[in-house]
Amino acid sequence: MLALRNSPSNRASRGKPSSPPLPARWESFRRDAEQRRQAGEEVPHCTPVAEGHDTVGVLARSADGRLAGGCSTSGLAFKMPGRVGDSPIVGHGLYVDPGVGAAVGTGHGELIMRICGTFLIVEEMRRGATPLAAITTALERIARDCQPLPQQQAAFLAVSTDGRWGAGSLRPGFQAALRTAFLDSLLPPHVILLKDA
């Protein structure tokens, strides 16, 4: 999604980074992109900010089954001016239905937005799917419909009102943190759809 005001300053800034990156990093990105273009490779319009930086999503369930969720994103470096990712859009980066469950997503927002990722997961749970089965459905849809590039990632967490939860990712590299009255741990996702990537 893009949200641009049609002003001379916005028109002039197209193609330039909208966040103030370090000049050396911008030049390195620009040189790499040009070399990839000359080699005939597809060049993404942005790159992750840094390894290990992405959306932070939190889902919480109280002892009596009440649900809450929140997410915050670090965004992408060198993004197109006006790019809006999935985090602030209900049903894309986060969705909570108090009577069903909650889901949060991370990764390349364009992949998650194309399938209304978190809304899809909660709706699958409404139809009777477990959180893990619902996440798997969303990841399969991304793989099938979006045909993600090798460097693109998407991952989800989901919890139902009865306390069942799941974590899954398109590719390796995602972890989930779980904290209960009895456990405080980083865990691998229950499912990784594309393990060879």
Residues annotated as catalytic are: 55
Across-strand partners of 105?
Answer: 156
Query: In degrees rounded to 5, what are phi and psi of residue 104?
Result: -135, 145
CA distance 52 to 58: 16
Going from the C-alpha of 179 to that of each of 61, 109, 131, 155, the distances in angstroms are: 11, 26, 17, 19
- Write down how long the chain is: 197
Going from the C-alpha of 94 to that of each of 50, 149, 162, the distances in angstroms are: 23, 23, 19
